[in-house]
Structures are given as structure tokens and as C-alpha cells.
Chain A
Amino acid sequence: MTTHADPAAAIEPATAFAGAATGKIICNACPVLCNISEGRSGACDRYANLQGVLTRLDPLVLLKKPIHSTSSAMPPEEAEPERLFVTGIGATTTYPDYKPAPFIVSSRGAGVDTVTVVTEGIFSYCSFKVKIDTDRYLGPEQASVRCEGELVGHVTTAEYGSQMLSLGGVHHLTGGSKKEGRVACETMLKLGNKAAVTLEIEGGSSVVVQAGKAPIINGVTERRMRVGCGSATIGIFAPQWREHVDEVIVVDDHITGVLTEHQAGRYLDMPPAGIRIIGKKSTPGRYFQVAQPGMGWGGTDITDPLTIVERIDEKKAWPGMRVLFVSTTGEDFAYFVLNEALQLKSAVMPDAVQKVVDRIGENCEPALCTVLFLGGAGGSLRAGVTENPILLTRSIKDRLTKVTCGGAESYVWPGGGIMVMADVSCMPDNSFGTVPTPAIVAPIEFSLTLADYLALGGYADQVRTLDDVLQRAKHVIQ
């Protein structure tokens, strides 16, 4: 087998006479079906017949960046100071799948022959999981997420300091209207290629999401991810407040903390300040549901902190008592002193208190959107790697074969199939493409030792050396 040209195409009447000519191959990369002689390129100048092999001339992306190795499949790079990794970007795909993958490359690392099978996979089953570092209310869990009015995903379980979206997927790509599929596909393409996408959450907010960038929620750029919940903030900063204030209330959508009731305040022998706040008391000094979720303080709808004060206990509070209200990011704060009538009166915040408020901010990480690609490579794509696809699946499960996406580390979800997850920020720019199905095209590489590759029924006669790829395939090194 020396040609990737579809054998079926050779018996088409239109091209049958060409068979008499020697050394010609039919390029089936596009409907033109060029008949290409040895040493020439087709009408597109993108595919050529090089020694009987249909060869892609478009640049294949090679990464200079070493791929972090966690398995035996990719030995340490001590043998090669400048190791090159061939990515699936620009590798193109084959169709039907049983044809060997476009590039099966062998290179030597630390004395062990490694093989990387490189392809651009067409993923019908794939989605993007988006983590948005914010406590601001984006919308209820399970709410629909729309782009340009079309359903493209939903809000999923909130995680630590973050709201989570699940976008794309087979039901939106091909299960709905044609327009829904098209918009879902475009949304996924943009997310994967690190472009900004504006999403509308039903019953919630409008959010602009871009991998590696801060989310923009209802037109406001989020800056900080909270330092912790209200209770955690109390736990972290209690000793620093001890000398400068008599009470601190940390407003948070999840758990609002009250310093003198909290275990942290008690341990520091702080006298109860007697400020009773609304909400459902959990354990001492920790309150749930103090307010509704919203765009105010700490992801609540609070804009005036005094609205959460239910009453002030006259037996415990005292005139001159110093009270700080602060959010979990330190972005919102207010300082009060009790007057003779035990009313909270706004006062100038002392520098020592401001310093601790600022420290909350310093301890917040920048709010980011992170986008993970999740794709199923357990289907026919495997046939481009081996004639016995289950052996590839097992080899991945056994960690003999390493899977990367555009050179980016991936996590393979345990269980059936080959479900890979990769951070699009670690992939080269514009790694993703689309086909009109609609479906997403993404680079995927399988790396393993040559011995393991042959053992799983790999296309031994298709293995090319890295030097050969460098010499014969047009490429760019990033």
C-alpha cells in the first residue's frame, strides 16, 4: 500500500483510462479528483504525488515546546535537546477512515523509538466545558444557554468560586434545527480557537466568554475570583482584624460570615457584637441565603449592606462599636461606628482596616474563563491508527499510548471509549475547524513506542521518520 488515494475512485469510468498511464494517482481530497502524475501537484497545489504517495503540502504544525511526559510513551527528552512534536494541525483527515492516518511519524527519544500517529479528527461527539471564575449570578443550574438566539448549551453544577457551562455537543450540533446546529458549531469553533463568544443565559445574565480572558458579565468585566466563601474569609483574616474592628460581616452568596459569632472570633476572645443578620443560620457565625443571587456584593443582590441587618441586640452592642462589611473579593466594603442610639453610622475607614480589606483583594486570583475541549475519539478515527481499533483503546487505558490535542496534554476519561479532555489555551492558535455536517475538526495525536505500535497492529509500512516529515511535508515550527 503506497498511496492514500481511494482505491474505489480508480474504477470510476471517468478516470479508468488514466490507469493505463504509469505512476498516476487520483487525489480524493476534494471533488475535483485530480489525476496527479509522479512529482506533480493537483489543481489546488496543496496535494502532490510524491513517489506515488499523495502528500499534503500545507504546513503541518510542529511544536518545539517539549511535551510534558507523564507516561512511558514519551521518554524524557535528554537525548534530543530540541525535540520536535508533530501536531495534528494541518495534518488533514482521511475518508473513509480505514485509510491510514495522514502522518504516522517515528522519532527517537532517549534511545527508544516512538511513534506519533497524527490526524485531524472529525468530532461529532464533542463539547466545551467552560469554567467562569465568578460568584456573580449567571443563571439557575440547568438553564439554557443561547447564542444568537439558538440553544447551544446549559448551566451545569457550580464549582468552587466558579460558574460552569456545558456548551455544544451532539444534540445541539445535529439533534435540533439546522440553524441550531450551525450556531452551535460556530460557537464551539470560536471557543476552541480562543475567540470571544457572547452567551445569553435564560433567566440570568449575558456573559462574554473567551479562553484565558476575564468574563464580561452584563457588560462588566469580572476582575477577581473570591478568596473563599464568607466563612473562609473570616477564617483567614480574623487575627488581622482582631485589634482594629469589633465586628466583621463578610457578605457572600453562599455563606455569609459574622466574625464574633464565628469560631474564629470566639477563639480570639472577641465579645459578641449583637448584630443579628437575616438568613438561615448554619453553624455559629455562618449564614445561608442572606440575600438573593445577583450582581451586587459577593454575587448577591445586595448593594446596601445595612439591608441584611435584622436587628441590633441592645444587651450586647455598645456605642462606639466598629463594624466592617466586606465582600469576598474585597471589592465592596463599608465601615460603620455605632452611635449612642446604637445605630450604624457610616464612618471613615481607618488605614489599618483598609489594609486588611486590600489584602483580601491581593489574595484573589484573577477571574478567568477556562475552556476545556471534550471529544470522543473512540470511534472510526481509530482505524487510521490500527487495523484492530480496540487495541488502541486498550493501549491508551494501559497508559502505553499518550493522547494529545495539538500537542496539549489531555486527560482521558476512564471507562469506555477514548474521551479526551484538553485545555484549549494550551493548544496552538486556530487549532479547530469545522465541516458542514456540522461537526468540529480538532487535532489529535497518539504517541507510543514503535514496539507497542507494531504490537497493536499499526500500519508498519506507513511509519515515516521525523526527518522524512521535515524533508517532505511542508511544515511550520512553533
Chain B
Amino acid sequence: MGDQATRAVLADGRDHWQHGPIDLIIEVWGEPAAVSAAKKLAWQGFSGILPALVEELAALRQPLQQHQPAQFNGAVAQRMLAACEPFAAQFITPMAAVAGAVADEVMAIFAQAPGITKAYVNNGGDIAATVKPGESLKIAVFDVVTRKIGTVPIYFEAPWRGVATSGWRGRSFSLGIADAVTVLAATAAQADAAATMIANAVNLEHAAIQRAPACALKDDTDLGELLVTTAVAALPAALVAQALRAGADTAQECVSRGLIAAALLQLQGQWHTTGHDSRLTFWEK
């Protein structure tokens, strides 16, 4: 039946769970029996996530209003709201954190399950992780322009368990021109919301940038008539640096407010890192 959640084991042993727009790649380490028990528990909850979101979808697509707190019933919706509320002064809808919030919701099962040493849930690039003492995970970041690969480490001693990436090249629309903004934060939902906002801020006006109203590209989008980036031709290096600085200001503000640990901004081969974690080594060749 097409409208049901499906699961499959990929050739390399990772799990692939899919339900409508939700597309998870999952890998869990630990006692085999514990891993299998935790996956079972997580799978039981998984099929209910999308229907619960759909129930509140219309409201979740509405922009947050400062000083007018929104309320949601669903667990994932509440995660989305919590992650987006710090940005309510600007245009943001809870949908900015939907992918990360779903990853967090599934990860919550693995994080609490006994006998699990580490795990990650990757929802289309927005990743929730858990690591137990002595364990770590490396998340690779790929720069589509320079083809360099960097790594974001997640380790027990630091509280950061979420990594998310946003940019105009990704599946979701961006108001900015960043090729990618990757954020490390406490949760995937927080990383998702912040990556969206920072990527929006990597911006400037130039003839090389093509934009279109979001509603002209996709039906039922939460961005309505806002102009979203559809193509970015080569920009002068100085303008690339300028756009990155604009994004870096927002990223620094997020770090100062304690919303995120670090951010990596990529634009046309140039990159900028913001963050205070000494073990964060974004670029390892």
C-alpha cells in the first residue's frame, strides 16, 4: 500500500525507513539484541509520525508571530516549535525544523534504549545522533564546489547531538545563496532551524542570482510568495566574501545566544566557520 511506512535494509546493512517525504537512513551500534529491540520500538513509533504531523500541517505552515506563542499537540510539532521560536523575530514557520525534529523524535528511542553505544538517524541530511561515554561519530560534509570533505565530530563530552545542512541546492527552498550551511547544535531540530536562518542570511542582490516566488515552484509551500533562490551564477570573489560575512554575522549571533555550537558556511568555493568548540575540525582532507 503506497501510503504506508516502508522499511528496507540497504546492501551495506544500514536501515532505510521511508514514509511520504520522510526518508531516514539509520545505523545503530551496540549489543545485537539491544539494537534489534530498539529498532523494533523505534519502528513502532515511526509510522505514527507522519499522520500526526499531517493533522497539524496547516498550522505548522503558518509563520510564527513574536509575542503570540503557538501551541501544538504532536511531539514532533512541539520539537519544531521549540527549535524555531528563538527566530520568531524574523520570518520563520515551524516547517523550517521538520526534518531535524523527525530525526530527533526517532533518535529519542535509541538514546534512551539500554545497550546502545551510538546511533544516528539521517533524515535527508539532517542528522540526530547519540553517543555513549568513550564513543564518537564523525559526520562528513561535502563541498560540491571544491569537492573537499570535512568532518563534524560528535563525541560524548560535548552536548552537541544534531547536525543539519541548508542551502539553495538542497531539497528545501532557501531565501539565500549559500551552497550549504552546516550547523552543529544540541538537537537536529535546532541545527535545522538555525541552518535555515543562516543560509537565508548568506545573501546579496546581484544579476547572477535568479529567484522565483516559492508558490510558483511548489504547491502548498509554507513560504508563500517569498522569493526563493533557483540559480546562482559565478559571483566576483569579493561579493562571495561579502555574502558569507552577512551569514557569518547571523551564525555568530546564534553561537552567542547559545543556540548552536558551530556553523560552516560554503559559497562558491569560499567557506567560513563560526564556533567555539576546539575539537571541531571542519576541514580534514
Contacts and interface: CB of A to CB of B under 8 A. Distances in A.
Chains A and B are bound partners: yes
Given A95-B1, A195-B9, A435-B4, A32 B219 contact: no
Nearest to B13: A195
A92 B10 CA distance: 17
Nearest to A58: B18
Interface stretch (A283-291, A311-319, A426-434): A426-434
B207 interface: no
A24 B218 CA distance: 12
Nearest to A182: B40
Which of B20, B50, B51, B217 has the most chain A CB atoms inside 10 A of its CB? B20
Contacts of B23: 44
A106 interface: no
B47 interface: yes
A182 B20 CA distance: 22
B36 interface: yes
B3 interface: yes
A43 B36 CA distance: 31
B154 to A, nearest CB: 27
A37 B40 contact: no
A18 B2 CA distance: 22
Interface string A422-448: 000000011011111000010000000
Query: Which of under 10, 10 to 19, 20 to 34, or 35 or more describes the interface residues of B?
Result: 20 to 34
Nearest to A43: B21
Contact of B4 (A46, A182, A436): A436
State the majority secondary structure of interface residues on A. loop
B219 to A, nearest CB: 5
Which of A41, A122, A195, A434 has the most chain B CB atoms inside 10 A of its CB? A434
B7 interface: yes
B11 interface: yes
A3 interface: no
Interface string A38-73: 001111111000000000000000000000000000
Contacts of B10: 430
B1 A34 contact: no
Given A31-B3, A40-B217, A193 B21 contact: no
Query: Which of under 10, 10 to 19, 20 to 34, or 35 or more describes the interface residues of A?
Result: 35 or more
Contacts of A36: 219
B219 A433 contact: no
Contacts of B220: 34-35, 43
B50 A430 contact: no
Interface in A90-121: 92-95
B230 interface: no
A29 interface: yes
A24 B219 contact: yes
Given A24-B219, A37-B219, A40-B219, A30 B3 contact: yes
Interface string B90-132: 0000000000000000000000000000000000000000000
A32 B20 contact: yes
B6 interface: yes
Contacts of A434: 6-7
Contacts of B7: 189, 433-434
A34 B217 CA distance: 14
B169 interface: no
B19 interface: yes
Contacts of B21: 30, 32, 42-46
A462 interface: no
A79 B21 CA distance: 41
Contacts of A42: 21
B48 to A, nearest CB: 10
A243 to B, nearest CB: 54
Interface of A: 24, 28-37, 40-46, 92-95, 122, 148, 182, 189-190, 193, 195, 429-430, 432-436, 441
- What are the 6 A-B residue pairs with the smallest beta carbon separation, nearest first? A30-B20, A44-B21, A95-B1, A43-B21, A29-B2, A435-B4
